[in-house]
Amino acid sequence: MESLKESGITIRPAKATDVDLIYKLIKANSDQGQMLPRSKYKIFSRLQGFVVVEDDQKNIIGCGALVILWGDLAEIQSLVVAPHKHGMGIGRKIVEYLLAQSTALNIPKVLALTYQVEFFSKMGFKIIDKDSIPRKIWGECLECPKLEYCDETALIYQIKLTEASAG
């Protein structure tokens, strides 16, 4: 997708040169227990799905990734906004951008495994039982230190694809 400019910020596809800053944003939040960590390797391997948010001085102040899991399911991963920019609607704009990507790809369901349940609920995501998620998507979970005691909540967003976008 193309870049989106509004309200002094730009949301754009991530570049390889952004990985260090993406890693630092994620690490700062994972160190505080607000999200799961991501290695630089994992960020590079998923780079095509990442977007970043830049302020008007070109500072990266947020990121998120849309990871395609199957033909009808994608996942929002690594959604983070710099602490000094919380409450400004940036996270919401990232999610809207990623949902638009899912729509463009004709993927009708978007999953979020998160500690930020209220945020995603306000965005229209519905809580689901983690056991209802097909096991084939749990590959990444096998690498997680919380595998046996997962404390994230699963939420799903159902996109209403039109006949034109679905066909």
Q: What is the pTM of this model?
A: 0.87
Q: How confident is the model at residue 139 (pLDDT cuts 50, 70, 90)?
A: low
pLDDT of 136 reads: 45
Give the tens place of pLDDT for each residue, 76-99.
999 999 999 999 999 999 999 999
C-alpha span between 82 and 97 (Å, rounded): 18
Give the tens place of pLDDT for each residue, 62-81.
999 999 988 999 999 999 99
Give the tens place of pLDDT for each residue, 11-56.
999 999 999 999 999 999 888 878 888 899 999 999 999 999 999 9
Which residue carries 């979970």 as its tokens? 141
